[in-house]
Structure 1
């Protein structure tokens, strides 16, 4: 029997992650029975207290067992913890040695969305790939520079450590885990029963690039604002360096340190974000949008757009703008 522990952390936690994981994973034995197979899973809510209040006491979760009483588990699910991540980790500090011990005993550990912050706080993610909500990527990198964050990924896996991307992409990780433990046929049945898009690999189409301005380098912030206001024009590193009165090499180093992007990458991301808005709202054809955001080489634009979003310009427009027609 595979024992699954879904954590019920203290503080503000994703009820959807907890209840959704419990519902789907608890149904697996019924799916196995449909296939003429024996039950395989025991699913429990595991907490640090007998009752955990959520949403200003609108909801109360009563874990079935306390972590201290679980001597052996096979899979730990960490839901998304909201708010100040350092405070959330401190509030749930008692979980950390238990998770570490269970991992050393052979358990797998999976984080859902912002649960990656708490998983990283255990030290188990150090040097490993990780996914989380794309909007929290800058904060995650700042807190855990030793973790290989992969902004675009829906799922990462290495050494019995699993993570999922933002929000409802936790469903994709659950189906992935079902396949790991129960096989492809049960994973497909689970996906079909809950209308989950199986094998989705990227959260790139959902990412909104807002520019990383949570830094104190004012000249670099000035350069960012200039790029965002003038993205239709040809902008060079030398131009930005002269504008901020910083030597080119120093400017490039400070820009990368402050934003996480090279200057060229940042300009590309701003142009792509502008193009995405046009594809979502306008009736312009593809080439019109490409030229309007300052690209002359349409092939280069299409290559960069596919790399950033995971979709071609036409696929993106058709996905988000149903008023347009294929041109």
Structure 2
């Protein structure tokens, strides 16, 4: 099986090398298990020597992308720094991605590599994952694509995408398992000390509020929520801020932020709770009241839904001094 790792101009070295290394390691483990090596792994780029990060590294490609006639799996890592500049620097690669896909190649984007993949149009009308911090930017640039909030791996047909940063390893392990076997993927996960079955990046997300839209009145409502999240907030009162009926306001708010007003309030409160857990020794009940909740079950359920962890588990994981349950 031929695996082609695209080395983008100004690519992120920490994302370019993992898939190459993992599939090479898979061959080593397969041989150690008495099986045949099955992966032919290569770097392909627009030039023979590709600068990565801010020129700190140079990747020597095995061949130029234009000279790849066919491949079984094309992996697209992210670019480093300014995304728009990175897309422009690699624009020559887009038609080659399209041609390889049309010839039956599977395609996988890693982290912000989803932006390069989205440029091909292959994701239009489909779902994908990318780094949680760039969801709004992705949605704005590619409104015809459904980006999945919090997902580690998204698979649609033979197109794959991963969440942010180290989440790319989970997709790489998934692909190793898919094209070889579970045993080999587990050996790689142990060798690189990776959690093979992590399925959400929610625990790492930092909610900053979706304010890249241009609805000034909705931003006014968002600012109000962020200043008053400890108080009881009534949706009708929020609608009054923009002189709108409730149903019209809710549609308008969701269109601007991709959240209902209630979801937005919950995310602001849970983000505040996360900061309390990370920086103080307050117990769960104290934090719950500090962020505007009075019902323990509602707080616990909402916290776990948004972060993937219970409040106690989150505190034990991220507090300056871990506490006992």
Q: Deviations over 1:133-176 (max 9, x none)?
A: 00000011111122221111111112111111101111111111
- CA drift of 1:117 comes to 0.8
Q: Deviations over 1:156-207 (max 9, x none)?
A: 1121111111011111111111100110010011111111111110001001
The residue that corresponds to 2:246 in the other structure is 248
Report if aligned partners of 1:112, 1:132 keep a CA contact under 8 Å in 2.
yes
Which residue of 225, 228, 231 maps to 1:233?
Answer: 231
Pairwise CA RMSD of aligned residues? 1.6
- CA drift of 1:324 comes to 4.4
After TM superposition, the structure 1 = structure 2 runs for residues 194-209 of structure 1, keeping only pairs within 5 Å, are: 194-209=192-207
- Equivalent position SS for 1:167: coil
Q: Deviations over 1:293-324 (max 9, x none)?
A: 11122211111111111111111111111524
Unaligned runs of 5+ in 2: none
Looking at structure 2, the residues matched to 171 and 324 of structure 1 have their Cα atoms a distance apart, in angstroms, of 27
- Equivalent position SS for 2:48: coil
Q: Does 1:129 align with 2:127?
A: yes
- TM-score w.r.t. length of structure 2: 0.95
After TM superposition, the structure 1 = structure 2 runs for residues 162-311 of structure 1, keeping only pairs within 5 Å, are: 162-311=160-309
The residue that corresponds to 2:7 in the other structure is 8
Looking at structure 1, the residues matched to 121 and 36 of structure 2 have their Cα atoms a distance apart, in angstroms, of 36
Looking at structure 1, the residues matched to 54 and 158 of structure 2 have their Cα atoms a distance apart, in angstroms, of 35
Looking at structure 2, the residues matched to 89 and 277 of structure 1 have their Cα atoms a distance apart, in angstroms, of 35
Unaligned runs of 5+ in 1: none
Q: Residues 55, 93 of structure 1: CA spacing in aligned structure 2 closer, same or farther, 3 A cutoff? A: closer
Looking at structure 1, the residues matched to 47 and 281 of structure 2 have their Cα atoms a distance apart, in angstroms, of 55
- TM-score w.r.t. length of structure 1: 0.94
Report if aligned partners of 1:76, 1:108 keep a CA contact under 8 Å in 2.
yes
Report if aligned partners of 1:85, 1:118 keep a CA contact under 8 Å in 2.
no
Q: Deviations over 1:14-59 (max 9, x none)?
A: 1111122222222221111110011111111001112222344332
